[in-house]
Each structure stands twice: as C-alpha cells, then as structure tokens.
Amino acid sequence: MGAYAYLTACPSRDDVSRFSLHELALASESGLTAKYMIPLFWLAAFEPSDAVRLSETFKLPTGTETKHFILLCAPVEKALAQLRRRKSAVLDLVSERHSVLFDEWVKFVAEHYPQSLLLDGHELFGMGEYESDQRILLKSLEALRPADLGHLIDEREVFVHFTGVVDSLCERAYDEEPFDAAWRWRGLLTGWGFNTEGVQFWPPKPTHEEVEFARSKPAAPKPPPTIAAGEASQAQSSAVESAVRASGLLVATAYGVLGACSILLGGLFLWATLSGASNWSGVIVGALASLGGVSLLWLACRTFAKRPR
C-alpha cells in the first residue's frame, strides 16, 4: 500500500487520454515506480509544455466529485535532448559522483522507451491538495529551464517537495551496508523497476566510488524499541484490569466500613433501650441498623470475592 509515481512507455500524448493509465502501465515492460516521491532524474526529462490535463471522478457517500490532474508526456527524442542538455545542472543539485548513473539513465530511456515517456504522479497529489501539489510540480519544471541554456539551477528548494534529494542522498539507515545504501540512493534518483517475477532490473548496481562514499557516512543510530500492536493491546488490557481490581477493592472496603458502623450503631440503640435510657422504639431502630449492617458486610464480602484477580 502507499502512493506511487509511475514512469511508463506511451505511444503518444493522444493515447494518454484514449487509454486508461492502468492499461498503459501494463503495456510497458520497463515501467518504473517510486513510492511517495518523483525522482529528480525523471523530472529532468520534462518541461511544463509536456503537461497533459485529465480528470477523475470519485464516488462519495453524498454523490460524486471530479478532480482534475496533470500527467507529463514527452516524445522520447525531446526527453533525451533535455536530459543531455541538463546533465551538468542536475548533477550540481546532487553530486558529480552520480554522473555515471545519469549516463546509465539516459541510455536506459533511449533503449526502453521508443516512442514517448509518461510520468504519472497523480497518486501523490491525492496525499495532499491536488491544486497545490500540481502547481509545485509545474514550478519544479520551470526551475529546470535555466539548465537548457547551460546555467545552473537557482531554485533548489522547489525540488524537495517531490524528490527529497537534498537530505536523503547522504543518509545511511541503521544497520544498512554501504553497498545497499548506495544502491538505494540510486533508486531515489531514478526509481525502481521490477519484472513480472519480482526481480529488480533497475537501477544498476552502484559504482565503487558510490559505495566508498556511502561507507564514509556513519549509519543512523539504532531506533528506540517500539511496542508491537499486540503488546500494546495487552498492556492496555492489563491497565484496565488493574483499575477494575482497584475499584472493586475500594467498593468492598466501603461496604465493609458502612456495615460495621451500622452494626455498631444498632448495638448502641439496643444497649440504650435495655439500660432504660431509651424507649422500645430504640429496639426497632437498633434491629434495623444491625440488619442493614449485616447486609452491607455481606455485600462487602461478595464484592471482594468477585473482584478481578
């Protein structure tokens, strides 16, 4: 589960509207995915004019709602030309050590996407505000324009929203081997590809330089232990049982105290009557008080016996 961005082959811009996105993804044997992000090297292949506007209708309890979203579709020759023009500027955003990966990426696009390149990130828009996220996506493409003229990219912050490359390409997870970290960083830049059998075919394995760089970075500290859902539920149940046990003991004690006081009061009335200090109505009151006291003591014993152990 999760929200993904997809990069697939597409016959043309017209086919984006004519076929469903699911059918296009199935027709592409070299489709790539990225979870909760759009890789920077994907974005580098597009410009704002590549946007294709579509709509999707959702069923709600109160009716239907239609949302409009954009995809990116570019002829592969145009996408390759933009990638080659922008190489220096894009690597300036990340590091020159990813130069080999960038060249591998350009070669992969040329070999596996013969007609057009389609970027579908509308699942990510559903995580937040459709309109706001789409404006950020178009702004990211606008920020790449200086690279077409051989200039560096000044608006670096705009890429963080979807790519997150600024912080994540130098972080090694806890207990993560340098090779695995370098390979994961490659996926953050170019996405991941798996065949129908679940075998990863993209990205290629990292270079020696990339692995050594990852080795130079300390792994993240061990995360604090977390309570599993079953353990948390058991702890909560234990807390409830403890509270019930304590309340049962409190009620039994209250019954006992009231019962003892009632018996004592009844005894005083009876003593006063028998000693002549009170009339015979005291006998009735004393008897009732004593009987009530005995009943309360019985309730106290019963409550104490039935409390949770």
282-309 per-position pLDDT tens digit: 555 555 555 555 565 555 556 555 555 5
**Structure tokens belonging to residue 16:** 């984006």
Looking at residue 243, what is its pLDDT? 47
Average pLDDT over residues 85-113: 95
How far apart CA 227 and CA 256 sit, in angstroms, is 41
Lowest mean pLDDT among 72-76, 195-199, 254-258: 254-258
How far apart CA 111 and CA 106 sit, in angstroms, is 9
Range among 93-97, 157-161, 162-166 with highest mean pLDDT value: 93-97
Lowest mean pLDDT among 69-78, 103-112, 127-136, 298-307: 298-307
Looking at residue 181, what is its pLDDT? 93
Q: Residue 1's pLDDT band (boundaries 50, 70, 90)? A: low
Task: Name the nearest CA neighbour of 266 among 292, 299, 238.
Answer: 292
Looking at residue 227, what is its pLDDT? 52
**Structure tokens belonging to residue 86:** 């922008």
Looking at residue 307, what is its pLDDT? 52
pLDDT at 270 over 70: no
Task: Name the nearest CA neighbour of 46 among 191, 147, 186, 144.
Answer: 144
Task: Name the nearest CA neighbour of 38 among 145, 152, 160, 180.
Answer: 160
How far apart CA 217 and CA 178 sit, in angstroms, is 8
Packing angle of the helix pair 178-190, 99-112 (nearest 10 deg): 50
Percent residues over pLDDT 90 in the chain: 38
Query: What is the strand order of the sheet 32-35 is part of?
Result: 32-35, 4-10, 116-120, 63-75, 51-60
pTM of the model: 0.70
Looking at residue 68, what is its pLDDT? 79
pLDDT at 240 over 50: no
| Ramachandran category for residue 150: left, alpha or beta (phi over 0 → left; psi -120 to 50 → alpha) | left
Query: Given the DSSP bridges, would you call strands 116-120 and 63-75 parallel, antiparallel or unpaired?
Result: antiparallel
Q: How buried is residue 28: exposed, middle or buried, by Cβ count under 10 Å (0-12/13-18/19+)? A: middle
Provide the CB-side half-sphere exposure for 126 (13 A, CA): 14
How far apart CA 104 and CA 99 sit, in angstroms, is 9
Q: Residue 131's pLDDT band (boundaries 50, 70, 90)? A: confident
Query: Given the DSSP bridges, would you call strands 63-75 and 51-60 parallel, antiparallel or unpaired?
Result: antiparallel
Looking at residue 238, what is its pLDDT? 53
| pLDDT tens sequence across 192-239 | 998 888 889 999 999 999 999 999 988 888 888 765 445 545 545 554
Average pLDDT, the chain: 78
Looking at residue 254, what is its pLDDT? 57
pLDDT at 27 over 80: no
Looking at residue 229, what is its pLDDT? 47
How far apart CA 259 and CA 219 sit, in angstroms, is 67
